[in-house]
Amino acid sequence: MLKLRHQKHIESTIIRLYSIIALFACLWTLPPHAIAQNFPSHPLRFIVPFPPGGGTDLMSRIIGKKLSERWEQPVIMDNRAGGDGIIGVEALSKAAPDGYSLAVIILTHAVQPSLHSHMPYDLMRDFAPVIYFANSPLVLVTRATLPVTSVKDLIALAKSRPGQLNFAGGGTGGAAHLGGELFNYLADVRMTHVPYKGTGPAITDLVGGHVDLMFSGVAGAMPHIQSGKLRAIAVSGLKRSPTLPDLPSIAESGVKDYEVVAWYGVVVRAGTPAHVVDKFFKEISNIINTPEVTKLFADLGAQIVGSGPREFSAFLGVEIRKWSQVVKRAGIPVDSK
């Protein structure tokens, strides 16, 4: 009797093994689009390498919420602040290349290879670009008492006081810092960068008159522009901003080739299946082009872009090279804080 039961148990185990093998064989022969239809089958993690509440976080949460609604799977927002955005992206570099972890990256991430001698990841090697979803020009604002009303006035004042005018930034290597350094180089002036631990403290000191000017994100500066506490004189894109249509661009004001935009994109781990990357791109593209999300982004001072994986990859390469040159020209020391 025992031998009979043992034999039946072995036969049952063999049947289950053959069933599992047959199932995997079926999955193996499925075309990629069929597998893609089953993605995602469990919750996703969306890494935001900055604290909650900023523009990057808010836009990421909008996308995450819409992805969750469309795919009927939770999208867990994971704020991994620290290291000027490095810590969060490093976390993605250690995730499985299956598409269940993704991260938002910004301009700062393209600058960091030029600022740090040792990076825990390679932006171009370790990640697969998904979509460059939005950008936002900076606005050049001054304290209300600075005697300038135009870019021409600012250049004249800076030339008359070399090294004496200072501009605030939310940390070394951020968009505000680089905006000022590029202005120094292209306008042939010398202004001094004053780094702060975040955009909020920088704007607070500018409003208080402790620094002279700032290349600020539009959303953070707008309430102070409207109240008259800050004076806006130009925007940093090549063209005028729909949010501030009356302001000229810095390039339009005589600083040829000046362009700085804060940009936002999504990446996954390198090695993530191409059909999963493509599914992410199509879904996020559809989300950001809805009237609701377009308006939400516009309220944050951002404009929809929507470039796909190839275009985003090429853009990243250009940005890394561009800011490497700016860092060298500005003499910013490697591993500076």
97 and 268 in contact (C-beta within 8 Å)?
Answer: yes
Residue 2 has pLDDT above 50, yes or no: no
Instruction: Supply the pLDDT for residue 5.
Output: 52
* Shared-domain flag, residues 195 and 271: no
* Shared-domain flag, residues 131 and 156: no
User: Nearest-5° angle of CA 137, CA 50, CA 228?
Assistant: 45
Kindly state the percentage of the chain with pLDDT values over 70: 88
Residue 10 has pLDDT above 90, yes or no: no
More confident residue, 26 or 234: 234
Instruction: Supply the pLDDT for residue 16.
Output: 55
Note the pLDDT tens digit of each residue in 266-280. 999 999 999 999 999
Note the pLDDT tens digit of each residue in 118-172. 999 999 999 999 999 999 999 999 999 999 999 999 999 999 999 999 999 887 7
Q: Tell me the mean pLDDT in the region 254-264.
A: 92
Note the pLDDT tens digit of each residue in 290-301. 999 999 999 888
How many domains are there within the chain?
2
Residue 332 has pLDDT above 60, yes or no: yes
Query: Is 250 among the domain residues?
Result: no
Instruction: Supply the pLDDT for residue 27.
Output: 43
d(CA 136, CA 58) in angstroms, rounded, equals 14
DSSP per-residue codes, 33-95: HHHHHT--SS-EEEEESS-TTSHHHHHHHHHHHHHHHHHTS-EEEEE---GGGHHHHHHHHTS
**Average pLDDT over all residues of the chain:** 88
Query: Is 8 among the domain residues?
Result: no
Domain CATH number, residue 196: 3.40.190.10
Query: Is 206 among the domain residues?
Result: yes
Domain CATH number, residue 305: 3.40.190.150
Instruction: Flag whether the pTM goes above 0.75.
Output: yes
Note the pLDDT tens digit of each residue in 84-104. 889 999 999 999 999 999 999
* 199-207 vs 218-227: helix crossing angle, rounded to 10: 20
- Kindly indicate the confidence band of residue 26, based on its pLDDT and cuts at 50, 70 and 90: very low
* Shared-domain flag, residues 141 and 68: no
Of the candidates 192, 220, 235, which is a domain's last residue?
A: 235
> Which span out of 16-30, 231-245, 270-284, 323-337 was modeled with the highest average pLDDT?
270-284
142 and 168 in contact (C-beta within 8 Å)?
Answer: no
Q: Tell me the mean pLDDT in the region 20-37.
A: 47
* Shared-domain flag, residues 156 and 74: no
Query: Is 305 among the domain residues?
Result: yes
* Shared-domain flag, residues 167 and 149: yes
* Shared-domain flag, residues 223 and 307: no
Instruction: Supply the pLDDT for residue 37.
Output: 64
CB atoms within 10 A of CB 62: 17
Query: Is 9 among the domain residues?
Result: no
Of the candidates 235, 251, 276, which is a domain's last residue?
A: 235
d(CA 130, CA 255) in angstroms, rounded, equals 33
Query: Is 194 among the domain residues?
Result: yes
Query: Is 80 among the domain residues?
Result: yes
* Shared-domain flag, residues 155 and 208: yes
Of the candidates 172, 200, 235, which is a domain's last residue?
A: 235
Q: Residue 221: helix, strand or coil by DSSP?
A: helix
More confident residue, 51 or 104: 104
- CA-based nearest residue to 177, from 249, 112, 225: 112
d(CA 133, CA 316) in angstroms, rounded, equals 13
More confident residue, 163 or 24: 163
Note the pLDDT tens digit of each residue in 108-120. 899 999 988 899 9
* Shared-domain flag, residues 229 and 150: yes
Residue type, 108: T
* Shared-domain flag, residues 140 and 102: no
* Shared-domain flag, residues 311 and 164: no
* Shared-domain flag, residues 118 and 143: no
- CA-based nearest residue to 43, from 78, 79, 74: 74
Domain limits at 108? 43-135+262-330
Residue 23 has pLDDT above 50, yes or no: no
* Shared-domain flag, residues 117 and 141: no
244 and 77 in contact (C-beta within 8 Å)?
Answer: no
Residue 17 has pLDDT above 70, yes or no: no
Q: How far is CA 37 from the centre of its chain?
A: 28
Query: Is 310 among the domain residues?
Result: yes
